A and B are shown apart, each in its own frame.
Chain A
Amino acid sequence: QQQVKQSPQSLIVQKGGISIINCAYENTAFDYFPWYQQFPGKGPALLIAIRPDVSEKKEGRFTISFNKSAKQFSLHIMDSQPGDSATYFCAASTMIYNQGGKLIFGQGTELSVKP
């Protein structure tokens, strides 16, 4: 029940296209859903995050869509650029059950944007 399932495992997109990565969770206690971007040999960097009280959040070219009833959320990268090529991780956490801040990560998606 603590799992976060992420798909696809890898994704190839043409420059200018839309990259879409999906995540699903089971634990309804999760109340914070961040996305992280990781380049090879580097630590993850927070990209964008959402809470269950909104269905969508947009920051620049990055948008999170959140479907509470389906327990799914996704990351959309508009106008994808070669510089976006990285591994993306979704995650979830809950502040209750003494789990404050503990992130459960998805399996990761390796995105490659072709010029």
Chain B
Amino acid sequence: GAVVSQHPSWVICKSGTSVKIECRSLDFQATTMFWYRQFPKQSLMLMATSNEGSKATYEQGVEKDKFLINHASLTLSTLTVTSAHPEDSSFYICSAIGASPDTQYFGPGTRLTVL
């Protein structure tokens, strides 16, 4: 149980285009979902926290107009990177919290490469 999926697992796009990444909790309802980005050999950096039906809370320094988060249901959150640039190339990982408020279950990640 407690499986989180992400789609796509990798994506390559041209500079200036937008990319949408989906995060789904497959076997539980996620009250809260988190989005992280991770650069090579670095730790996970929290970008934003999203709760179903409400606006996401962004961490300091994260551009909310660039990284659009929609948590439309208890099993789906999406991250849209708008007008992507090469510096947005990174590994994006989502996580979800279900019945237990402490335990975060992570998705497999999405590798974004912007050319």
Contacts of B4 in A (CB 8 A): 43
Query: For the complex, what is the distance from the CA of A49 to the CA of B105, rounded to whole Å?
Result: 13
Chain B proximity of A89: nearest CB distance (Å): 6
Q: Interface digits, B74-115 against A, CB 8 Å rule (1 contact, 0 not)?
A: 000000000000000001010101000111111111010000
Within 8 Å by CB of A105, from B43, B97, B102, lies B43
Apart from A49-B103, A103-B46, 20 more pairs, CB < 8 Å: A32-B102, A42-B108, A42-B109, A43-B6, A43-B93, A43-B95, A43-B109, A46-B106, A89-B43, A100-B32, A101-B34, A101-B49, A101-B97, A101-B102, A103-B34, A105-B43, A106-B43, A107-B42, A108-B43, A110-B41
Minimum CB distance partner of A100 in chain B: B101
Interface SS of chain A: loop
Q: Interface digits, B14-33 against A, CB 8 Å rule (1 contact, 0 not)?
A: 00000000000000000010
Within 8 Å by CB of A44, from B41, B93, B103, lies B93
How many residues on A have C-beta within 8 angstroms of the other chain's C-beta atoms? 22
Within 8 Å by CB of B44, from A42, A44, A45, A95, lies A44
Q: Interface digits, B39-54 against A, CB 8 Å rule (1 contact, 0 not)?
A: 0011110100100000
Chain A proximity of B106: nearest CB distance (Å): 4
